[in-house]
C-alpha cells in the first residue's frame, strides 16, 4: 500500500454510536495515516448524547459529527474508501449495508451501546466497553505493517482484528 492518507468508513445501522466513536478513534490513534468517516444504513438523524459524552471525556472533538446515510459515500465526488468496516452486531439482528466497490471490507461487530438498558451507570458502562473495544481494534489496525503485507495477508489480519473481544490486549492479532 502507499504512504498516502487512507480513508476508512465505519458503517452501522443508526450511525449514532459505534460508527461515530470509531470515526474519531481512528483519527486519534491512526498516526496521521487514516481519515475516518462514518455512516448508517438507516441513520437515526442525530448522534447519541452518550456518544458525545464519551468523546468529550476522552478529549476527542465532537464538532462536525452527524448521523448520516451511507448513500452519501456512494455519490459522485465522495471520498474514495480504502477500507469499510461494519461495526453492527449481527447477533442483535441488525441489517448491515453491503458496500459496493473495491475497498477492503471486514466485519467488526459489537453490541449497540445505544440499546443498553438498566441504570444510567449500566448504560454508560456499555458505552465505555464499546469505546474500549474500538480503541483496541483501531490501535491493532493502525499498527499493521501495511507496506510489508500482501493483500491477502492484510485482509486476514483486518478480519482477525474484528474478532478481538472487549478484554483482549493489543498484542492479540498483530
Among 17, 96, 110, 126, the active-site one is: 96
- Cell readout for 75 is 455519490
Q: How far is CA 126 from CA 8, 83, 113, 117, 132, in A?
A: 24, 26, 5, 9, 10
How many CA atoms lie less than 13 Å away from 114 in the CB half-sphere?
22
9 is known as an active-site residue = no
- Cell readout for 145 is 505493517
12 is known as an active-site residue = yes
- Phi, psi torsion values for 59, nearest 5 degrees: 75, 25
Among 6, 9, 11, 12, the active-site one is: 12
107 is known as an active-site residue = no
Q: Assess contact for 131 and 56: CB atoms under 8 A.
A: no
Query: Helix (H) and strand (E) counts for the chain?
Result: 4, 4
Among 21, 22, 88, 134, the active-site one is: 88
Checking 62-67 for CB contacts under 8 A at 24+ apart, the result is: 62/24, 65/20, 65/23, 65/24, 67/14, 67/15, 67/16, 67/20, 67/40, 67/43
Which residue numbers are catalytic?
12, 88, 96
Amino acid at each position: 500500500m502507499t504512504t498516502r492518507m487512507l480513508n476508512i468508513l465505519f458503517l452501522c445501522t443508526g450511525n449514532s454510536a459505534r460508527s461515530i466513536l470509531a470515526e474519531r478513534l481512528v483519527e486519534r490513534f491512526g498516526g496521521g495515516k487514516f481519515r475516518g468517516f462514518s455512516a448508517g444504513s438507516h441513520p437515526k438523524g442525530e448522534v447519541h448524547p452518550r456518544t458525545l459524552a464519551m468523546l468529550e471525556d476522552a478529549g476527542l472533538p465532537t464538532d462536525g459529527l452527524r448521523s448520516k446515510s451511507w448513500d452519501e459515500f456512494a455519490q459522485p465526488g465522495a471520498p474514495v474508501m480504502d477500507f469499510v468496516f461494519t461495526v453492527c452486531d449481527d447477533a442483535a439482528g441488525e441489517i448491515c449495508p453491503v458496500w459496493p466497490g473495491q475497498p477492503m471490507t471486514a466485519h467488526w461487530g459489537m453490541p449497540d451501546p445505544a440499546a443498553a438498558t438498566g441504570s444510567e451507570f449500566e448504560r454508560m458502562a456499555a458505552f465505555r466497553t464499546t469505546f474500549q473495544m474500538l480503541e483496541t481494534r483501531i490501535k491493532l489496525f493502525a499498527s499493521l505493517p501495511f507496506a510489508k503485507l500482501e493483500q491477502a495477508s492484510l485482509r486476514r489480519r483486518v478480519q482477525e482484528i474484528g474478532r478481538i473481544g472487549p478484554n483482549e490486549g493489543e498484542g492479540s492479532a498483530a
